[in-house]
A = this chain, B = another copy of it.
């Protein structure tokens, strides 16, 4: 059983473009209820982590979303909300949270989990986190690796060590495994190879480590970043915090934890992975949302006359011979005829009609909103 207190860290940032116009800069994915069950992805993340936490989780979010995040908390003290003055990728956010934890409880273990992913099997998740905590107490940077179910090209992969005797005995006792390396998103041929090896797991961006280990390792890799995070944390709860944050935050290296820590530490044998089997979904595009809604018997209202039209929002939908997903909150009546695998997002200022099979291509359209003078729609 882990002894050190466990503090979840939830970086809640990233204005994804693949759920536009449902998600916007002002209303990012983690604030949305994408399962029709009345809970946003952030709320579900807090629900899932709450029972595993020894201290309130720390949500690190953009200053523009601080208010919305606080409004979604089940109680004001259900989480600590840390506002970033600007988005500087995941490492500064996690480092600052780690430094805040370290300052109060140097031995504590933190676990960083995205605010906008879905995990259904919470028991299995809890077991994986317990193993990760054990391994983290040994000094490892621990990641949770998802057993791949298909040759996905949209995720990075974690390659387990080849030699079953790799890693020290105490690590093997936890159930975690040494990581050989992290691999960037592969093409389909490589993804198929990965699936065949049985040694590759999806990188879901979940990292567990002692706060002090994480910061000490970061101090080796990118000293100013670790130093800056610790300096900001030292000013926390003092009247100069705002000024220190404003001064130091913009200087912190904008980098993802994968590049800053996970990759170099894996090469040094300091990363372990907990292979997991829970069903994880990053709900990365409308095809994923459609799958989620369809998988929920009770989720999403079903349009009359057809049982494979999923409706998210208050939209009034009628359909003939259609398999579709509708997101709508306008007063407009929505009629569908003969659609197969189509998602429709009806908002006041933008309408999207998308073939789920090509859901990834949405980024192209969103990227050119600005050049078309429609930046206000992002």
Interface residues of A (CB under 8 A from B): 20-21, 304, 316, 318-321, 324, 331-340, 342, 344, 346-355, 357-359, 361-362, 364-366, 368-369, 372, 374, 377
Chain B nearest CB from A350 CB (Å) reads: 5
- Given A335-B21, A342-B342, verify A321-B353 contact (CB < 8 Å): no
Which residues of chain B are near A340, meaning CB under 8 Å?
355
Task: Please tell me if the beta carbons of B374 and A320 are within 8 angstroms of each other in the complex.
Answer: no
CB atoms of B337 and A361 under 8 A apart: yes
- C-alpha gap A244/B331 in the complex (Å): 45
Question: Do the beta carbons of B318 and A365 come within 8 Å of each other?
Answer: yes
Bound CA span A338–B361, Å: 8
| Structural contact, B333 and A351, CB atoms closer than 8 A | yes
Q: How far is the CB of A21 from chain B (nearest CB, A)?
A: 7
- Partner of A364 from B316, B320, B362 at Cβ < 8 Å: B320
Return the 6 tightest CB-CB contacts between A and B, nearest first.
A338-B358, A338-B355, A337-B354, A333-B350, A335-B352, A334-B351
B338–A344 contact, CB under 8 A? Answer: no
* Residue contact A337 to B318, C-beta cutoff 8 Å: no
Q: Which residues of B contact A361 (CB under 8 A)?
A: 320-321, 337-338
For the complex with contacts A335-B366, A339-B353, 5 further pairs of A-B residues with Cβ separation under 8 Å are: A333-B349, A333-B350, A337-B355, A338-B354, A339-B354
A350 in complex: contacting residue of B320, B332, B372, CB < 8 Å? B332
B350 touching A335, Cβ below 8 Å: yes
Q: Which of A319, A334, A351 lies at the interface centre, i.e. has the most chain B CB atoms within 10 A of its CB?
A: A351
